[in-house]
Amino acid sequence: MRYTLAITLAAAIIVTSFAEVPDFSGTWESTYGTLFLNQTGTSVTGRYEVGGYSSVEGEVGPDGRLVFTYEEPSASGEGWFEMAADGESFRGLWRPDGGGEWYDWEAYRAGSGMLPTNWLVVLEAEWQESMTEDEYSFGEMLDAWFARVPGVTVRHRFVHDVEDLEDFCLESSGLPGNVYLILASHGTSAGIELAGGTVTANDLIRALEPCRNLAMLHFSACEVMAGSVPQTLLASRTDWPEGFIVSGYDLSVDWGASGMLEIFYYNQMLDVGLTPEQAANSVLDDIAFAGDEPTEWMYAAGFKWLAPGAVSDPGARPTGRVRNR
């Protein structure tokens, strides 16, 4: 049930002067639970949980006030927020459709006291397909590995469909620091495979749109780099963070090979301190089977990386792959 402390509209007005449009993007702890907002220009969308999935949509006016409508499973209405001068909190009012009394809604930026950090965010499909299989997870292995590295925080979540992906990407957009995003699943040249179906380039563009804190994106999945998904994603906007790259495989990669390769890859960034581009080149230079040439004991992994406006050399493509991811 909504918090029912009422205050008058006049008493709630916050006198604030903004030289520019305030940015409401981020993760906020609010009167009605955790609120995730994404702002593009002056348009704001978001979600929160009140008896189920609830949404917010609105516009920031010239006075800096965000005027919004909300939709809950069994209610809807309108409201407004005004940002504090330090950008770390906002407050406002809401009321249900049909008018009536206004109610208070306050929010404080999540992790306000948290130091910026490097976040390894692993969004992973369920690999096992029936009760006959034991559960296993690449994300859990990475969590254990990076527990030893100071300044690195791992967040591992299972995703089943596009909606899960969008929700977790929106949450990741509010993390204070650099996000190294891993999408771990089966894959094809058309995209990654989840229980809900293929996640295409357009699905990924929508999911990643709020993420302005990405250091890199890695497809821990077979064959995604063989199609147009990475190029389409990179071409979808011009404001990728400096040094951002997309990496993955253009072949069907062996599970053991990818596991070894990726732990080395992420460690080069998060422990050694290389940039994503340097780490990607280190993988290709230091691991003999990482690129397009097989070794005596291992098929080629087909590791590739792309940056906005730059493409790594695709090289030769061996044949005879056995699909594992």
Q: What is the CATH number of the domain that holds 26?
A: 2.40.128.30
* 81 vs 68: CA distance, rounded Å: 8
Residue 288 and residue 285: Cα distance in Å, rounded? 7
Q: What CA–CA distance (Å, rounded) separates 193 from 158?
A: 13
Question: For 6, which DSSP code?
Answer: B
Q: What is the pLDDT of residue 5?
A: 34
Q: Is residue 214 part of a domain?
A: yes
Structural Rg of the chain based on CA atoms: 22
* 38/131 same-domain check: no
Q: Are strands 177-184 and 117-124 parallel, antiparallel or unpaired?
A: parallel
| Sign for the pseudo-dihedral over CA of 222, 307, 180, 173 | negative
- The whole-number average pLDDT for the span 102-119 is 79
Q: Please tell me whether residues 154 and 242 are part of one structural domain.
A: yes
Q: What is the pLDDT of residue 146?
A: 94
Q: 76, 109, 142 — which closes off a domain? A: 109
Output the domain CATH number for residue 207. 3.40.50.1460
Quick: pLDDT tens for 112-166.
555 568 999 999 999 888 888 888 899 999 999 999 998 899 999 999 999 999 9
The reported pTM is 0.73
Last residue of a domain, one of 109, 144, 169: 109
Same domain, 105 and 199: no
Q: Are residues 210 and 228 in the same domain?
A: yes
Query: Residue 184 — pLDDT band, cuts 50, 70, 90?
Result: very high
Q: Which residue has the tokens 């299972």?
A: 158
Task: Pull the structure tokens for residue 233.
Answer: 């994603």
DSSP track, 225-287? GGSSHHHHHHHT-S-PPTT-EEEEESS---HHHHHHHHHHHHHHHHTS---HHHHHHHHHHH-
Please indicate, yes or no, if residue 325 is contained in any of the structural domains.
no
Q: Which amino acid is at 178?
A: N
Confidence band, pLDDT 50/70/90 cuts, at residue 6 = very low
The verdict on 169 and 284 lying in the same domain is yes
- What domain count does the chain have? 2
Give the number of C-alpha atoms closer than 13 A to the C-alpha of residue 13, restricted to the C-beta side.
5
Same domain, 135 and 194: yes
- What average pLDDT does the segment 246-269 reach? 95
Task: Assess whether 72 and 165 both reside in one domain.
Answer: no
Range of the domain at 55: 9-109
